A and B are shown apart, each in its own frame.
Chain A
Amino acid sequence: MADIASPVPHTGATTRHPISLGARLWKSRIEYLFLVPGMLVFGAFILYPIVASQYFSLLQWSGFDANQTFIGLANYAELLGDKFFWDAFGRSFLFTVSTVPLQMLVSLVFAIILNNKLLKLSSLFRTLIFLPVVTPVAVIGIVMTIMLSPFNGPINMGLLDLKLLARPLDFLGDPKLVLWTLAGIYVWKWVGVTMVYWLAALQTVPAELYEAARLDGVKNWQMTLFVVLPMIMPFAIVIALISAISALNVFPLIQSMTQGGPFFATEVMEVYIFRNAFATAGAIPRLGYASAAGVFFGVAIMGLTILQILAVRHLRNRETANGA
């Protein structure tokens, strides 16, 4: 997607004479007019918050109508010493690292099977697998709490009946288990989206290729493994990136299922920020401190993203260099 930024064919006539900036700006006035609505949304709700967060992080500020006191880097100093912050920070990454590969693999298998146009019910199956995606997390919170209940919850009952368990597990109450339970629910909820991305990628494989392979007597699984997979691998990077970013935005699911508990076992970064900023009953909201946590986290993610993009670019460059 980053390739879009490369130059596009110029539609107007190119002038060789140097013209003043003012004239160039005036000449593009319709373009700028077109940008206005988009830039308002972009500026107000994406760009401004990023800049403002950095300023807020330098304040002591206890509530939106309270006074702001400039305290420099004190919030950051406090963050670095806060065990809850580092736990939440680590948990966010642990969650991402454990869900993304699983999500990508399961959705890829679904996509490859459902991409078969001869499979008559494939569009029905796609829809069914997509259903959890369109189900709001608040709803999932309710349904899954019942499903996973240690008292007569259908999942525990099923596992007991199949003799896979000796006694019911407290999926959401056991601090050792709960993060993995949420990871599983998360994957279940979002596999549908990743599957659609894979399906979209699979559509870029030309139909003639399947035909040619079939005539050559190539088996389906060979075709999939040696022809189709390598062809859609470039998409895998984009899909992984999108999935990883979504997995870092897991707040809704966790807030509606466990609110970060039990005993902070599921307090990921966003829950930590929410708890400090929009404090739960009694405590004083700490907007500056929460902003500092947000900035720290955001910068860490951006750093990782840039590293990932650089790594991909490096690999691609090496490939083209080898090919030439």
Chain B
Amino acid sequence: MAHESQALRQPLTSPRLRRWIVSVVLAAICCVWIYPLLWMVSASFKSNAMIFANEGLIPSQPTVENYVKAWDQANIGAYFFNTLFVTVGSVIIVTIASAMMGYVLGRRRFPGRALIFGLIIFTLFVPQGYTIIPVFDLLTRLGIGQSLWGVMLATSGGSFVIFVLLFAGYFSQMPNELEEAAKMDGVGFVKTFWYVMLPLSKPIVVTVVVMQTLYAWNDFLLPLVITLANPAIRTLSVGVYAFRGENFVDWGGMTAASTITIVPVVILFLFLQRYFIDGLAGAVKG
């Protein structure tokens, strides 16, 4: 390597060597960075007696007993499906509603458009603590104050405004020719949106799906409030939190429950991360 770089009259530390050094340093930082999570996964495969036995990350007598216990006794299995229900439902609602709204706001002119934009910008920075009481009150009046449907609907409001702006920005940059061509061919408004425009906005769709999934999966205040009186419909976040309150010495069970909680979102992110970053890049360009 040294010969090569000398031949090219480059400095002694070739770019390749420097990249190696950077990689090694980064690898070390990342190990420290995710150590708490590694520790958690490792502890979930150990018996309670072994967790603090100072034996390193690889368990000497691995066991899945914690998982069995957490899934059945601590109801993590039920909480898992509650969370899945809320997340999938809210992702569907949010993606369709924000795409339609963003499309109309970004590409069409109609009376009231400026007013809606004004309201959106105005509400962009309202903290959740500000809205939790009326939201809960509204859900109670609608009769879904203690149901998963309530959690699903209210979770849809979480980052909705940002998603609408992402779609509006993306659609507003698309060339007019597409719609004009569709119009000439006699394709209606709804079909143009569904078959032409929506498929073209795939980067934003992926971004919205990932962001809403993360939001719904992680959401805490709202499900906590809604499930205060009804433990059966807890989501994973609230379930894990409650598990700790009820079994505060069962570290094995807790870490197993925690691991179950993070695995699905980690897998989702691994598959979609490239689209996610590209989608955001497309969005910020706008």
User: How many positions in chain A have a CB within 8 Å of any CB in the partner chain?
Assistant: 102
Residues of chain A contacted by B239 (CB below 8 angstroms): 138
In the complex, the answer to whether A128 meets B134 with C-beta atoms within 8 Å is no
- Chain A 101-132 per-residue mask, 1 if CB under 8 angstroms from chain B, else 0: 00000000000011010111101011111111
Instruction: Name A130's closest neighbour in chain B (CB-CB).
Output: B269
A169 within 8 A of B: no
- Chain B 94-107 per-residue mask, 1 if CB under 8 angstroms from chain A, else 0: 10111011011111
In the complex, the answer to whether B157 meets A46 with C-beta atoms within 8 Å is yes
Cβ < 8 Å to B, chain A residues 195-245: 196-197, 199-201, 203-204, 235, 238, 241, 245
User: How many positions in chain B have a CB within 8 Å of any CB in the partner chain?
Assistant: 109
Cβ < 8 Å to A, chain B residues 260-286: 261-262, 265-266, 269-270, 273-274, 276-278, 280-281, 283-286
Q: B185 CB to closest chain A CB, in angstroms?
A: 15
- Chain A 10-21 per-residue mask, 1 if CB under 8 angstroms from chain B, else 0: 111000000001
In the complex, the answer to whether B160 meets A41 with C-beta atoms within 8 Å is yes
Q: Lowest 4 CB-CB distances: which A-B pairs, in order?
A: A45-B157, A38-B101, A28-B110, A49-B131
Give A residues with C-beta under 8 Å from B.
1-2, 4-5, 7-12, 21, 24-25, 28, 30-32, 34-35, 37-42, 44-50, 52-53, 56, 64, 113-114, 116, 118-121, 123, 125-144, 146-147, 152, 154, 188, 196-197, 199-201, 203-204, 235, 238, 241, 245, 248-249, 251-252, 255-256, 269-270, 273-274, 277-278, 287, 290-291, 294-295, 297-298, 301-302, 305
Give B residues with C-beta under 8 Å from A.
15, 19, 22-23, 26-27, 30, 33-37, 39-40, 52, 93-94, 96-98, 100-101, 103-111, 114, 116-117, 119-138, 140, 145, 153-154, 156-157, 160-161, 164-165, 168-169, 172, 176, 179-180, 189-190, 193, 214, 217-218, 220-221, 224-225, 228, 236-241, 244, 251, 254-255, 258, 261-262, 265-266, 269-270, 273-274, 276-278, 280-281, 283-286
